[in-house]
A and B are shown apart, each in its own frame.
Chain A
């Protein structure tokens, strides 16, 4: 089990009802973490349409996670 700091933007923030949280997880990758959180918060957006950043840099969904990582889920936004 590792502690990961997670930050949500846009529709994810809206659906989670919070902007950030620290989660204790067994997920080994960004994709597995998102799947776990989507289940918990009822996220409707598939990971394939989003981006994930780990420690301030865009990363692949398969990227491994380490304790203390900061993970940001970034949906696309179009409003203008």
Chain B
């Protein structure tokens, strides 16, 4: 059983190609041939030249034939595409599929030619009878299925007629068998990095054996994922529950405007598989929590925090410490960033040696609240990728027991030494830092019920916010920063329900106070907005 994609610089002979897929277990054989046609867009064509970006094209082509074999259960799949100069009528692409039964063979053959047309980067330069010539990009030129398409080969060719007039369906031709002179190309090429004496083939094998989970496929995640896929990491996990928004595009350069609304984890997976089919890319369309990460991290060596909120960063930390895996953290604010590398094992310092308790979300802005320039996460994400490669390749100079501060306005970097906290343990269980409380949020359809329930309502918004949009029920005013600075301002021996606009700051503040031992604090789920929309 085999699945092969190749380029050929010399003429293709169908009979010779067919012999390459001969298989006594197969009772059905289907082939497709694309020929150079005499006319395109009303111009007479006298010949053409094909050019391919061979490294990427062969990887993508091999991926397609492997997909066809797996998806349709056929035994032999072969696709050969010409490169170089072709005459009118010459064979440009040949696909052959052999299978025990014909239905799967037809389907797989059709799948291969459609996907090759759609995904493989091949360009053709047409020479016209008028003396003109022009380049036509064949990549991504397949059109979406039109209504009434019966799925047959004829309909397919009709659908593409305006782009692929050089092709005709052609009954299988048993021509004379010629010697095989096809240009088989390597599946991968890491030559530019294996040239480095510190990397070499041994380093490449280490990268190939490595498994890295990236949490967040946004501004930081995009460069991390791109460089790790390019480097040939064996397994690359992509976790992101969110969908692409057009406002992401100035810094998340892997995506296109047309992708808006789609899952970032799935978009990134598609992109990374095309970038390097050698990499086993695993998408996780889910939120990262300590509970969701815990069982997954058993399968990874390094976890990378590319998230945009503190709750996720600490979830990554807690799960990474419990699993004993290395973790690489970065976060950004406007023109600046911070970077920290934590070893899963050993006596080094961890995230909680610097930040003992979970910083509540909402206390400092994220990209959506404070703004950011596109290259800022690009630089910090690239630094993360570099630190990961240093870890995996055992290169010198890696960040260790330090936090790197990067200011991209002044172009200054600072390494701040972060010694291990006396109470730090491998699992980093500290007195006074219990696990996150699941019951911090409380739901009230009617705020007057809060008072009847005996709770003190505490409005943690800023005074100007309260003036612009007062709470419908009397509440004690304690701005978030003041409350966090001095929790004794809360009425003693009473249960307090914190309230803000949307329930984000109140959840963060209540969680932070719980971590510091204040058990009788809750957050109003959804904040005042939920109250208003319920009325």
Chain B, 348-366, CB within 8 A of any chain A CB = 354-355, 359-361, 363-366
Identity of the chain A residue whose Cβ is nearest the Cβ of B418 in the assembled complex: A58
B306, B364, B405 — which one has the most chain A CB atoms within 10 A of its CB? B364
In the complex, which residue of chain B has the Cβ closest to the Cβ of A77?
Answer: B333
Task: List the A residue with the shortest CB-CB distance to B305.
Answer: A80
A72 touches B308 (CB 8 A): no
State the CA gap A80–B377 with chains docked (Å): 6
Out of B364, B405, B419, name the residue touching A78 (CB < 8 Å). B364
Task: Say whether A78 contacts B355, CB under 8 Å.
Answer: no
Question: 19 A–B contact pairs at CB < 8 A?
Answer: A7-B414, A11-B364, A13-B336, A45-B364, A46-B482, A58-B403, A74-B405, A76-B355, A76-B363, A78-B309, A78-B313, A79-B308, A79-B332, A79-B333, A79-B365, A79-B366, A80-B216, A80-B305, A80-B332
Contact residues, A11-49 vs B (CB, 8 A)? 11, 13-14, 19, 44-49
Besides the known contacts A78-B331, A80-B307, 11 further A-B residue pairs in the complex with CB atoms under 8 A apart: A11-B333, A19-B409, A49-B481, A57-B417, A72-B405, A75-B364, A78-B307, A78-B309, A79-B370, A80-B220, A80-B366
- Nearest A residue to B371 via CB reads A79
Docked CA distance A54–B305 (Å) = 27
Please report the total number of A residues contacting B with Cβ < 8 Å: 26
B72 at the interface (CB under 8 A from A): no
Q: Are A77 and B336 in contact (CB under 8 A)?
A: yes
For the side of the interface on B, what is the size category? 35 or more
Across the interface, do B407 and A9 meet the contact criterion of CB distance under 8 Å? yes
Q: Describe B's contact surface by its main secondary structure.
A: mixed
* Top 6 closest pairs, chain A to chain B, by CB: A46-B485, A80-B308, A77-B333, A57-B417, A10-B333, A79-B332
Q: Are A79 and B367 in contact (CB under 8 A)?
A: yes
- Whether the pair B418, A78 counts as a contact (CB closer than 8 A) is no
When A58-B419, A72-B414 are in contact, do A10 and B334 touch as well, CB less than 8 Å?
yes
A56, B359: Cβ atoms closer than 8 Å: no
Interface residues of B in 327-352 (CB under 8 A from A): 330-334, 336-338
**A80-B219, A80-B221 are contacts. A9–B308 as well, Cβ < 8 Å?**
no
The A interface is mostly helix, strand or loop, or mixed, namely mixed
Please state if B419 and A57 are interface contacts (CB–CB under 8 Å): yes
**A73 vs B503: C-alpha distance in the bound complex, in angstroms?**
29
Contact between A56 and B481, CB atoms less than 8 A apart:
no
Cβ contact within 8 Å between B336 and A10? yes
B195 at the interface (CB under 8 A from A): no
**In the complex, are the beta carbons of A48 and B484 less than 8 A apart?**
yes
Q: Is the CB of B334 within 8 A of A19?
A: no
Contact flag A76-B359 (CB < 8 Å), given A46-B485, A56-B415 = yes
Bound form: Cα–Cα A78–B221 in Å = 14
**Are B417 and A78 in touch, CB under 8 angstroms?**
no
Contact A78 B485 (CB under 8 A): no
For residue B284, CB closer than 8 A to chain A, the reply is: no
> A6 near B: Cβ within 8 Å?
no
Within 8 A of A (CB), among B211-258: 216, 218-221
Q: Are B416 and A78 in contact (CB under 8 A)?
A: no
Interface string of B286-319 (1 = CB under 8 A from A): 0000000000000000000111111001000000
Please tell me if B372 contacts chain A, counting CB pairs below 8 Å: yes
Whole-angstrom distance between the alpha carbons of A74 and B306 in the complex? 19
Chain B residues, Cβ within 8 Å of A11: 333, 364-365, 370
Q: A11-B364, A44-B481, A48-B484 are in contact. Are A79 and B416 (CB under 8 A)?
A: no
Q: Is B410 part of the binding interface, using a Cβ–Cβ cutoff of 8 Å?
A: yes
> B419: which A residues are within 8 A, CB to CB?
57-58
- A56:B331 contact, CB within 8 angstroms: no
Q: How far is the CA of A79 from the CA of B252 in the complex (A)?
A: 13
Contact of A80 among B218, B405, B416, B418 (CB under 8 A): B218
Q: A78-B366, A80-B221 are in contact. Are A14 and B334 (CB under 8 A)?
A: yes
User: Which A-chain residue is minimally distant from B370 (CB atoms)?
Assistant: A79
As a 0/1 sequence over residues 466 to 490 of chain B, the CB contacts with chain A under 8 angstroms (1 = contact) are 0000000000000001101100000
Interface centre among B221, B361, B414 (most CB of A within 10 A): B414
- Asked whether A57 lies within 8 Å of B416 as measured between CB atoms, the reply is yes
A52 to B66 Cα, complex, angstroms: 55
Q: Which of A56, A75, A77, A79 meets B417, CB within 8 Å? A: A56
What's the minimum C-beta distance from B386 to chain A, rounded to whole angstroms? 17
Q: Is the CB of A48 within 8 A of B310?
A: no
B481 and A79 form a contact (CB under 8 A): no
Question: Given A49-B363, A77-B364, are A72 and B336 also a contact pair (CB < 8 Å)?
Answer: no
Distance in angstroms between the alpha carbons of A30 and B333 in the assembled complex: 24
Name the distance in Å between A24's Cβ and chain B's nearest Cβ: 23
Q: Mark A51-80, 1 if CB is under 8 A from B, else 0.
A: 101001110000000000000101111111
The interface residues of chain B lying within 8 Å CB-to-CB of A14 are 334, 370
Chain B residue contacts of A72, Cβ below 8 A: 405, 414, 416
* A-chain residues with CB within 8 Å of residue B365 when the two chains form the complex: 11, 79
